[in-house]
Amino acid sequence: MRLPRNRVVRRVAETLGILFGVAVLVFVMLRAIPGDQITAGLGTEAAALTPAQRQALEQYYGLDQPLLAQFFSWLGNMVTGNFGYSARSQQSVLELTLHSLPVTFELAVLSILLALLIGVPLGVLAASRTGSIRDAAGQVVSLAGLSIPAFLLATTLLSVFAASFGFNPNGQGFATLFEDPLLNLRQMLLPAIVLGFGIAAPILRTTRAAVLEVRSDDFVRTARAKGVPERRLQIRHVLGNALVPIVTMTGLQFGYLLGGAVVVEQIFSVPGIGRQVLLGIQQKEYAVVQSTVLVIALAFVLVNLLTDLLYRVIDPRVRAS
């Protein structure tokens, strides 16, 4: 499963180009937001600063330098492993990221597993008989997953479980998987359900469309004519050959979860990487936001690369090409 050298070089060049573009974009967008670290940290007291005090603070935060110098100074530090420092938490951005990224990764894995358990079987059932009740039920589930906002479902589940069952493990301090596995899984349960339900909708639709397309191929009719059992035909032949678009959609959704779960993380008090970016934006901590977003972009690119490698495993035609 070795990749050609020119393909590897091209993918590395594309990755570096994407990361550089993301770095420029997030740098410019942050500077376009009114305010800076001084006003965010001092609030209304920033108006009482003397010119000398403000100049000293600008020098401390590096705001007195030209924007181009600020950008390449931060980018150079990133390359050497210096992600910056968070004045709010009194920690380096690298330490914050190493703590929050595994939390978001765990939440993303649990959400994807739930989404696959919901979306793939319902998609296969919906495609098995188009226009039937099972097909209509699958369409209803997919529409519900696409139309119900994550914040609404999250607040509803949190309120119902807390009021009716006294189930609110997120009210306690967050426990990692290694500190307290049972409490950690309980704290991850509701946010994973919310995210998994939303992601199950596109996976369900993709599975249904892919299965319907494969079912119309000649080899499926030939296998059925040879007397291949229907269950084996649907699982091994139809679903097996429909995996490429399903894997593609799953990879895209997994990449989205690495940075797009900020609302759910905030509602359930999950200290993930999306929440880290949100707090950094609120405090105008440029280094925190810029470095964390770049890490998210790198993770997204790596997920896409892993998806491409999976194509070569599940589809012989990709390996042949």
DSSP per-residue codes, 200-213:
HHHHHHHHHHHHHH
Burial of 315 (0-12, 13-18, 19+ CB in 10 A): middle
- Looking at 76-90, 113-127, 216-230, which range is the least confident one? 216-230
- Looking at 33-42, 102-111, 184-193, 266-275, which range is the least confident one? 33-42
Q: Where residue 179 falls among pLDDT bands split at 50, 70, 90?
A: confident
Task: Map out the domains of the chain with their CATH numbers.
Answer: 5-92 (no CATH), 94-320 (1.10.3720.10)
On average, the pLDDT of the chain sits at 84
Neighbours of 144 (CB within 10 A): 14
According to DSSP, residue 277 is labeled: H
Checking if the pLDDT of 12 tops 90, the result is: no
* pLDDT of 312: 74
According to DSSP, residue 46 is labeled: G
* pLDDT of 205: 92
Contact call for residues 237 and 243 (beta carbons, < 8 A): no
Average of pLDDT values for 53-81? 83
Contact call for residues 255 and 300 (beta carbons, < 8 A): yes
- Looking at 283-287, 289-293, 294-298, which range is the least confident one? 283-287
* pLDDT of 315: 66
Checking if the pLDDT of 134 tops 80, the result is: yes
User: Which residues lie closer than 8 Å to 202 by C-beta, 6 or more apart?
Assistant: 119, 142, 145, 146, 249, 253
Average of pLDDT values for 24-50? 77
Residue type, 165: F
Q: Where residue 109 falls among pLDDT bands split at 50, 70, 90?
A: very high
Checking if the pLDDT of 320 tops 70, the result is: no
* pLDDT of 213: 84
Average of pLDDT values for 37-52? 72
Alpha-carbon distance of 46 to 226, in angstroms, equals 80
* pLDDT of 3: 55
* pLDDT of 9: 80
Checking if the pLDDT of 4 tops 70, the result is: no
